[in-house]
Amino acid sequence: MTLRAYLSLMTAATLICWLAFVFIIFMVNPEVTNWIGFLLFYLSLFMALVGTGAVAGFLVRFVGLKRKLAFHSVREAFRQSFLFSFLVVAVLILLSQNLFGWLNLLLLIIGLSVLEFFLVGYSRPNYVSRVPDGEER
């Protein structure tokens, strides 16, 4: 997939997600809906935030930094957008259940940070150095 196709597809999908989110806001009454209405609300918000963050994060990395390949910028932007969107939706869910507190927020941020560090460390390629006779070190 080319970069132009990715950006076009991601932008179109993000716009559809934002339209779905706005539609759900106006059509679903939170006082009488069941869990499906809340699931649609949080899911559409999550998908819209992921798309917006992925496109914006890629553009900032690619236009502003220009140090990495486009594939690496896309992957990093999507991963960080996913984690940030999860944080936002998790905080909203905690607020809706009256469970939000600074300790919960701190634990959530620490957990997502540890996950990000693990994913960054895991995504680095492992280069095998070879000695002249062909044995691996």
18-58 pLDDT, tens per residue? 999 999 999 999 999 999 999 999 999 999 999 999 999 98
The whole-number pLDDT of residue 132 equals 58
pLDDT of 102 strictly over 90: yes
Nearest to 81 by CA among 46, 111, 105: 46
Q: What is the pLDDT at residue 78? A: 92
Give percent of the chain with pLDDT exceeding 90: 66
Quick one: which of 35, 46, 40, 47 has its CA closest to 23?
40
Q: What is the DSSP letter of 55?
A: H
What pLDDT does 35 receive? 93
* Degrees to nearest 5, angle at CA 114 with 111 and 118: 140
Q: How far is CA 92 from CA 41, 99, 101, 105, in A?
A: 11, 10, 12, 11
C-beta pairs of 122-128 under 8 Å, 24+ apart in sequence: 123/75
d(C-alpha 86, C-alpha 75), whole Å: 17
Classify residue 64 by its DSSP letter. Answer: I
pLDDT value at residue 75: 87
Kindly list the domain boundaries of the chain, sorted by start residue.
Answer: 3-122
Crossing angle (nearest 10°) for helices 35-59 and 3-27: 150
